[in-house]
Amino acid sequence: MSTSRTSFHATEPVPAPGSDQVPVPGRDPASASGRGSFTGLVLTLAMAVAALLFHPAAFAQQAAPPQAAAAQDGSPPSPGGGNGILVAYFSHEGHTRALAEIIHAAVGGDLFEIRAVKSYPLDHEQAVSIGKDEQAAQIRPALAANVPDMSKYSTVILGYPIWWGDPPMAVYTFVETHDLGGKTVAPFCTHGGSGLSRTVQSLQEKISGGKVLPGLAVRSNSADSSGDEAREWLQKSGIPLLPRQ
Ligand SMILES: Cc1cc2nc3c(=O)[nH]c(=O)nc-3n(C[C@H](O)[C@H](O)[C@H](O)COP(=O)(O)O)c2cc1C
């Protein structure tokens, strides 16, 4: 994983797929060719649309996955906005982000990055040391942003790296400050060899009234290529998959 994936200035919560898309006006060829008095106007509009489509900023946004209403098993979307699925993750060095993006592409819904207000140093050893201290003191770092409306979601797919056999403390901040009661929580992690450790039980202890499913553990160096494993886990967890692209 290249360190270029690491970002401490990542985006705010990503809105529901489609919600940030600007509708492109339809272009009726008849209106351009058959109505001379409107030709100039139509040409101007077409140029404006082309400029919008090919402007570099149009490619800066994350491609929104298709609506999960097209779930493979034909089940209707869950109540609330979108398909009721939130993929929330913490990532310091980018591996968990890579896996979260793979999972998000497989299920749709919304993608949210859990970030602490105070970012961790890029230096691995320093981060390891701070992570250990925070765990020892059971710190709950303040989050840079919160999910605005948790009631939209019935399923939260929660990703984190393993830090000293635990999720980073910011993940505990997230589960303790967001109402996960009545929701299904599917945890996944990336790790350097410890697997999930005790994190599933630990999350279940902190999420009262929510059901934590068996988790998915992927080694850091496999995070980029774990699509099949992730889809299999999602299917076993009863989370509807979008058709493969
Ligand atoms: C503070 C810290 C503590 C870690 N502790 C463990 C650990 O206990 N067990 C383990 O297998 N990997 C450990 N790792 C390695 C990470 O779990 C692994 O590199 C993970 O994929 C990083 O995810 P990220 O790139 O999304 O931040 C630790 C890494 C850091 C920075």
* Digit-coded pLDDT (tens) for 150-168: 999 999 999 999 999 999 9
Residue 74 lies in a domain: yes
Regarding whether 177 and 86 lie in a shared domain, the answer is yes
Regarding whether 146 and 75 lie in a shared domain, the answer is yes
pLDDT for position 45: 52
Rounded distance between C-alpha atoms, residue 142 and residue 32, angstroms: 56
Residues 6+ positions from 11 with CB-CB distance below 8 Å: 113
Regarding whether 41 and 76 lie in a shared domain, the answer is no
Rounded distance between C-alpha atoms, residue 85 and residue 172, angstroms: 20
Pocket of ligand 1 contains residue 162 by CB under 6 Å? yes
Nearest atom, ligand 1, residue 94 CA: 25
228 burial (CB, 10 Å; 0-12 / 13-18 / 19+) is exposed
| Pocket residue to mutate for ligand 1, from 93, 113, 198, 199, most atoms within 8 A of Cβ | 93
Tens-place pLDDT, residues 68-117: 333 333 333 333 348 999 999 999 999 999 999 999 999 999 999 999 99
Regarding whether 157 and 46 lie in a shared domain, the answer is no
CA 127 to centroid of ligand 1, rounded, Å: 10
Contact 170, 141 (CB under 8 A): yes
CA 162 to centroid of ligand 1, rounded, Å: 5
End residue of a domain, out of 14, 45, 60? 60
Regarding whether 42 and 136 lie in a shared domain, the answer is no
| Pocket residue to mutate for ligand 1, from 101, 126, 128, 162, most atoms within 8 A of Cβ | 162
Rounded distance between C-alpha atoms, residue 80 and residue 65, angstroms: 18
Residue 243 lies in a domain: no
Beta strand 155-161 with 85-89 is parallel
Pocket of ligand 1 contains residue 131 by CB under 6 Å? yes
Tens-place pLDDT, residues 215-230: 999 999 999 999 999 9
DSSP conformation letters of 153-216: -SEEEEEEE-BTTB--HHHHHHHHHS--TT-EEEEEEEESS-TTTTHHHHHHHHSTT-EEPPPE
CA 216 vs CA 25, 48, 57, 102, 212: distances in Å: 43, 46, 35, 13, 12
Tens-place pLDDT, residues 169-222: 999 999 999 999 999 999 999 999 999 999 999 999 999 899 999 999 999 999
Residue 241 lies in a domain: no
How many CB atoms are closer than 10 A to CB 218?
24
DSSP conformation letters of 62-99: PPPPPPGGG-TT-PPPPSSSTTSEEEEE--SSSHHHHH
Residue 10 lies in a domain: no
Beta bridge partners of 217: 189
Residue 203 lies in a domain: yes
Pocket of ligand 1 contains residue 95 by CB under 6 Å? yes
CATH number for the domain that contains residue 212: 3.40.50.360
Range of the domain at 42: 29-60
Residue 242 lies in a domain: no
CA 87 to centroid of ligand 1, rounded, Å: 20
Regarding whether 132 and 45 lie in a shared domain, the answer is no
Regarding whether 74 and 48 lie in a shared domain, the answer is no
Indicate the number of domains in the chain.
Answer: 2
Residue nearest to atom 9 of ligand 1 (CA): 194
